[in-house]
Amino acid sequence: MIPLSWYLYLSAGLFGLGLYGVLARKNAIAILMGVELMLNAVNINIVAFWRYLTPENMSGQAFAVMVFAVAAAEVAVGLALVISIYRRRKTVDANEINLMKW
Amino acid sequence: MTTETLIWLIPLPPLLAFFLILLFTRRNHALSHTVGVGAALLSWLLGMLVFVAAIGVEHLGEHPFTSSVGWLPLGSDIFSVGVLIDPLSAVTLFFVAWTVLMIFIFSIGYHNFGQPKGEHDVPGLPPHGATEHGHSVPSVEPMYSRFFAFIALFAFGMFTLVVSDNLLTLFVGWEIMGLCSYLLIGFWYAKPSARAAAIKAFITTRIGDVFMLLGIVALYAATGTLNFREILYNPELLEQLASAPSVIAGLSLAGLIGLLLFIGTVGKSAQWPLHVWLPDAMEGPTPVSAMIHAATMVSAGVYMVLRMFPLLSAGWEHGAPLNTTMTVMAFIGAFTALFAATIALTQKDIKRVLAYSTISQLGYMIAALGIGAYVAAAFHLVTHAFFKALLFLSSGSVIHGMEHGVLHTEGGQHSGEHIDPQDMFNMGGLKNKMPITFWTFLIGGLALSGFPLITAGFWSKDEILADAFGNGHLLVFITLAVAALLTAFYTMRQITLTFLGKPRTKAAEHASENVRTMTVPLMVLSVFAIAAGWVGIPEHFPGLGGLLPSWFHEFVGGTLLEHPEAVTFDTVPLLVSIVVALAGLALGWLAYRNAKQEDPLRKPLGRAYTLLESKYYFDELYDAVFVRPAKRFAEGFSYMFLDRQVIDGALHRVAQAAFLLGSIFRNYFDTPVVNGFGDFTASVTQSFGRLLRKVQTGQVQQYLLFVALLAFGGLFYYLLNVLQ
Amino acid sequence: MTAQQGVFLFISFVILFSAYTMVTRSNLVHAALFLVVTLFGVAVIFVLLDAGFLAVVQVLVYIGAIAILMIFAVMLTQDNAAKQQESMNLNYGWALLLSALFAFALIVMLGQWPDIGGLAPALDPRRDTIAELGSALVSPDGYVIPFEVASVLLLAALIGALVVARPQKKDK
């Protein structure tokens, strides 16, 4: 009874929020959280399309699982990096980690 | 090997010797003089062979030995050069070969071969003694080999001149001798007087040479050839030249050419007014003086006019009045003969007397030729070469002996002034100290004076006087006779001062005779000085005439197309010449037999003496009229103006212009445009960079923002447009 | 409005609200907790989409591991000075614009798609989706290779995280 469009609109909104979080937050961990939001939005998208378009083919869910795995891996490494940076610079402010500036 | 081949070979040995000595044997004195004398000997041998062959030919003048090669292709024809031996060149070859050989041998002893090297001797200055076992001995000339090389080159030049069959190679030989006279007069180049004399000789003869070259060019332009046989033995051609007008009014083409060529002789044979170089040329070593001023170079001048006689006398018949060229020659010859004889009366230096006497004797020859006495002039040329070479060489022997004496006296004591070994007033009584030299000098001097009968000079001089008298040229006759008187006078003066009486200085007391290499050539030449005259005794001479055939007349007279007639015998000139000779000798002896340091003639002649002693101030005149203005011109105009202002100024202007142009380019183009462009590019890049680098803030989120903006923007644009 | 739709609306509101709050909160622990709420909401969405296994995995992995990890990280990197900085950086204007625009454009574009209003096809209740998922993941005709690659990726991430976060040995 729920049209596909609702799910898609939901995931679009969630993705936008996640994008905002990535681009606008100062704290590195908050950025990572934004990334998680985006990934979740993607997941919702995948599963919604699976359910509505090709429910007999399990590839949708399979790839949602992949996304989980990748998200986990990415968070692990990302947080390790953040911690490593914190140890060095005593800060996790993304603005201050600008060694690559001109 | 034919005679023609031998003739070609004659000039070569000395040339080879020149190169060999300069390139290889410089350090070894013995080797150098061996090469030099060997070359002279070889040329002598070849010359004698050719001469013997030549005198054996009947009428050599009509078919002489010739050989030529085509050398220079000129348009349609080829200019040939070659060799020619006719009677004139045969006798010239004879005396040149002998005198050159004698001079070469003499030089060995003159330059003290075998003596030790002097401690203070430097190349460029005459050697002044070495010490051996405590006392001074003569030292060997430091530039020994160079001397032989140069005289070898000189010999080459003369031989070339004698055997050549055309005016061009004659001129080549002429110029080579000019060069060598410069090199040899300035042999002791460290002496400023020698350098000056060398330049003077070269430039003075050059003046003559320029006119001679003009004459050669005119001749070639008029006739298209320079070959002697083609021009001089071609009566039609000579007629043509004699009648063709030249650029100078009143002078035919032949006359003009003849005059121009004659001017070359005036320079080369030191006639007035170009006589000034010859006395100064005594700066060279004595063998050089003998070579240049007796045997070869000055004789070359006379040889050339003898050779060109048909051209010079074109238009003149025997007995007719002289044409212009011959008049000029007669005048200059006679004038010079008297002029130089007067100067010779007052000279102190033994060589200078001989120098002026050479000028005077050459004047005789030129005057003889001027009046048409062809054979007489040739005869006097031959005999003069022998006795003048003899005189110069024996004066060299005297000087050498005097130097020995000087070394002796100065070596021991350091007081006293430096004695000039060439000043006759420092000599005296050398008869006993140097007997061979004395006798040979005496023979030469008598020959010069024209001592009757036994000396060669008598026969030749008498012939000239006879010709002058017989053909009615009385002015010439009288001038020459007076000159002959003066000649005998100053010759006896010379002999008396040098050899007779008592030694006037210590150096003269200690003078000694010289080595055989020096005395033997003297003896050989004295034989010729006596005997050479006997080949030319005129037929109608009382007593002796007819005993020996007048071979010289026959032989040399055959050179010309028409055999010149012998002048009819007259007792007047004969008596005049005998009287003049004997009187001059007697007067000379009388005047000088008791002379001390002062010339006994000085006081009586007074101002005239000073005039003569100063050579009529000709040197000063030339200096004021030519040399100083030339120097001023060179300094003021050529150097200061043309060179420094015009040429250097032009260069400076060019430099300034270039600099200005460069500055313009630099300031208006290079700096603003080129540099500016480069700088502009750089600064634009820099400002862009400065602008663009602000993008790199190092903040990841900003990068992400950009990425997201562009990516999504692009994506949406694409999707919206394409998928519509 | 069916119950499903009501639930969906409620849950999506929760999700969006907590997501919004999460990205605007300065206090990171709060943000993390709101993340948890969002993730939980997403799990419910999965349930609505008949992907029960994924819902459970979501809770277990995302909430149970990832969010916890985040909280740990927040705690480990807390600033001692405890200055309460603003949460936004200087770009937030542009970010806001961009994300709003993006979401909006996405929605508009999606609206263009004709099938977007389609309803879910019926699922056969006898299908064992979990078993099918499992066999899809490990069957060679299926997605075993992505599966293995994901394993390797996890291994790499594991080792990488260890290496990066290892305390540096300093000679002092």
Q: What is the pLDDT of residues B370-417, one digit of tens each?
A: 988 888 899 999 999 999 999 999 999 998 888 888 887 765 555 455
CB contact under 8 A, B716 and C112: no
CATH number of the domain located at residue range(s) A4-89 in this protein? 1.10.287.3510
**pLDDT, chain B, mean:** 87
pLDDT at B15: 95
* Rg value, chain B, Cα: 37
Domain boundary among C80, C103, C136: C80
What's the number of CA atoms in the CB half-sphere (13 Å) around residue A97? 20
Domain boundary among C12, C45, C80: C80
Residue C151 domain flag: yes
Residue C113 domain flag: no
Stronger pLDDT, A63 or B62, i.e. the higher one: A63
Q: Which residues of C touch B719 (CB under 8 A)?
A: 109
Best to test chain A binding among C77, C85, C86, C159 (most A CBs inside 10 Å):
C77
Given pLDDT bands bounded at 50, 70 and 90, which one contains residue A14?
very high
> In this model, does residue A80 exceed pLDDT 60?
yes
Task: Confirm if B141 and B123 have CB atoms less than 8 A apart.
Answer: no
Q: For the residues of B124-146, what is the DSSP string, one character each? A: TS----EEETTEEE----TTHHH
List all residues 6 or more positions away from B720 whose beta carbon is below 8 Å from its beta carbon: C109
pLDDT at B234: 84
* DSSP state letter for B65: E
CA-CA distance, B392 to B352, in Å (whole number)?
10
Q: What stretches of B297-434 show up as alpha helix (H) in DSSP?
A: 297-307, 309-312, 324-344, 350-370, 374-412, 430-433
- 3-state class (DSSP) for residue B472: coil
Smallest Cβ–Cβ distance between C95 and the set B705, B719, B720 belongs to B705
> In this model, does residue C79 exceed pLDDT 70?
no
Cα dihedral B308, B313, B317, B321 sign: negative
B80 bridge partner residues = B70
CB contact under 8 A, B708 and C102: yes
Residue found under tokens 């819902």: C55
pLDDT at B724: 62
Residue C146 domain flag: yes
Co-location of C6 and C71 in the same domain: yes
Task: State the ipTM, two decimals.
Answer: 0.91
CB contact under 8 A, B701 and C98: no
pLDDT at A50: 92
Q: Which residues of A touch B693 (CB under 8 A)?
A: 102
Cα dihedral B447, B448, B451, B452 sign: positive
How close is the nearest chain C Cα to the Cα of B707, in Å? 11
When pLDDT is averaged across residues B553-571 and rounded to a whole number, the result is 78
pLDDT at B411: 59
% of chain B exceeding 90 in pLDDT: 36
Q: Which residues of B touch A99 (CB under 8 A)?
A: 698
When pLDDT is averaged across residues B680-693 and rounded to a whole number, the result is 89
Given pLDDT bands bounded at 50, 70 and 90, which one contains residue B19?
very high
How close is the nearest chain C Cα to the Cα of B699, in Å? 10
Interface partners of A (3+ CB pairs, < 8 Å)? Answer: B, C
pLDDT at C111: 84
Domains of chain B, by residue range, sit at 3-197+288-311+324-619, 620-693, 697-724
How close is the nearest chain A Cα to the Cα of B688, in Å? 13
Task: Confirm if B38 and B101 have CB atoms less than 8 A apart.
Answer: no
Q: Which residues of A touch B690 (CB under 8 A)?
A: none
Smallest Cβ–Cβ distance between B705 and the set C94, C105, C112 belongs to C94
CB contact under 8 A, C98 and B709: yes
What does the block give as tokens for C171?
């000679």
pLDDT at B416: 54
How close is the nearest chain B Cα to the Cα of A25, in Å? 8
* C84–chain A Cβ distance below 8 A for any pair: no
Q: For the residues of A50-79, what is the DSSP string, one character each? A: HHHH-TTSTHHHHHHHHHHHHHHHHHHHHH
pLDDT at C171: 58
* C97–chain A Cβ distance below 8 A for any pair: no
How close is the nearest chain C Cα to the Cα of A77, in Å? 5
How close is the nearest chain C Cα to the Cα of B685, in Å? 28
What does the block give as tokens for C69?
């990890």
The pTM is what?
A: 0.67
Q: Which of residues 117-136 of C touch A (CB under 8 A)?
A: 117-121, 123, 129, 132-133, 136
B227 C-beta neighbours (distance < 10 Å), count = 22
* DSSP state letter for C27: S
pLDDT at B99: 92
When pLDDT is averaged across residues B289-318 and rounded to a whole number, the result is 86
Given pLDDT bands bounded at 50, 70 and 90, which one contains residue B553?
confident
B70 bridge partner residues = B80
Smallest Cβ–Cβ distance between C89 and the set A18, A19, A26 belongs to A26
- CA-based nearest residue in chain B for residue A30: B701
- CA-based nearest residue in chain A for residue C116: A5
> In this model, does residue C127 exceed pLDDT 90?
no
Q: Which residues of A touch B700 (CB under 8 A)?
A: 94, 97
When pLDDT is averaged across residues B432-437 and rounded to a whole number, the result is 88
Residue B85 phi, psi dihedral angles, 5° rounding: -120, 105
Task: Confirm if B533 and B103 have CB atoms less than 8 A apart.
Answer: no
CB contact under 8 A, B696 and A100: yes
The domain in which residue C155 lies consists of 127-166
CB contact under 8 A, A5 and C38: no
Letter string b/e over residues B495-519, b meaning 16 or more CB atoms within 10 A of that residue's CB: bbbbbbbebbbbbbbbbebbbebbb
Domain boundary among C54, C80, C106: C80
The strand pair at B130-132 and B135-137 is best described as antiparallel
| Structural domain count of chain C | 2
E strand or H helix that includes residue B80: strand B77-85
What does the block give as tokens for C54?
């994924």
B132 bridge partner residues = B135
pLDDT at B533: 81
Residue found under tokens 């806001």: C96
Task: Confirm if A31 and A25 have CB atoms less than 8 A apart.
Answer: yes
How close is the nearest chain A Cα to the Cα of C172, in Å? 16
Domains of chain A, by residue range, sit at 4-89
Task: Confirm if B83 and B66 have CB atoms less than 8 A apart.
Answer: yes
